Structure 1
Amino acid sequence: MNEANRRSRWPNTANLHLLINNQTATRTSRASNHWISASMCGQDAPLERLRVDRQLEEALTHGPDPLHLAEVFGLDEKTAMRYAGSARALLQQTVEHSASPSGKELGQD
């Protein structure tokens, strides 16, 4: 379930976990390992990739602030700084790409 789908289904949930279900949407606990395993069976993206993508999206959406990332996801400071650095680099690439003439990346002919 993507973030937009999640927000439309449970717009007021206080649960910050990546994967929630009908039982956990109204609480702050995580979904059970059994439910997660059954739900993810046969999916293209492993849970680790979804977790990393969600954390990077948060950094891109709310700014590359390591303190915010550490607070929201319970990350240690080094991990939060790494995600913030990656988000900062992606944001900088976006700015450079949009500022380049003819839409080409800078340095390309």
Structure 2
Amino acid sequence: MRTRLAAYLDYRNHRWPRTANTHLFLSQTTGCGVEPVSHVWINDVLGMPTSRLREDRLLHEAEATGGDPRRICDLFGLSVGAALRYTGTIDQPGLIEHGLRTAGPAPRPEPG
């Protein structure tokens, strides 16, 4: 995933070197403006719905923060209840058994 993201960012920076658009994804239409690409564009280009991409990022952040619901709330604008649903997944044995997560809890970030 990181390799693909790095390749896309290289392409984005080469294609629109002086864009004022702060969104991650740009298209021919949005590269010279500040509007985001449409959900249809993302679905077509990535081959998956945007909701699936968001869920993937939420789950990754839950694991990366050691299950810190406050961090999830702050980053994604979720309620505490919704954040707890995502952070509650990090110690699920089924994820470890299927190789989707390593054994042991994720390290908690240091305060600061």
Tell me what 1:48 maps to: 51
- 2:85 matched residue in structure 1: 82
* 1:39 shift after superposition: 3.7
Please report how far the alpha carbon of residue 47 of structure 1 lies from its aligned counterpart in structure 2 after TM superposition. 1.4
Aligned with residue 73 of structure 1, among 76, 81, 84: 76
Q: Percent identity?
A: 27
- 8 A contact 2:67–2:88 mirrored in 1: yes
Aligned to 1:37: 40
Residues 1:95 and 2:100 are matched in the alignment: no
Q: Decide whether the 8 Å contact of 1:59 with 1:87 is kept in 2.
A: yes
1:25-44 per-residue CA deviation (whole Å, 9 max, x = no partner) reads xxxx77232xx412422754
Q: Which 5+ residue runs of structure 1 have no aligned equivalent?
A: 97-109
TM-score, length-normalised on structure 2?
Answer: 0.53
Q: Aligned residue pairs: how many?
A: 83
* Aligned-residue CA RMSD (Å): 3.4
Give 1:48 deviation, angstroms. 1.2
| Whole-angstrom CA distance in 2 between matches of 1:95 and 1:88 | 8
Output one character per residue of 1:50-103: Cα deviation in whole Å (capped at 9) or x when no partner: 11111001111221110000001111111101001012336x94427xxxxxxx
**Runs ≥4 in structure 1, deviation > 3 angstroms?**
2-8
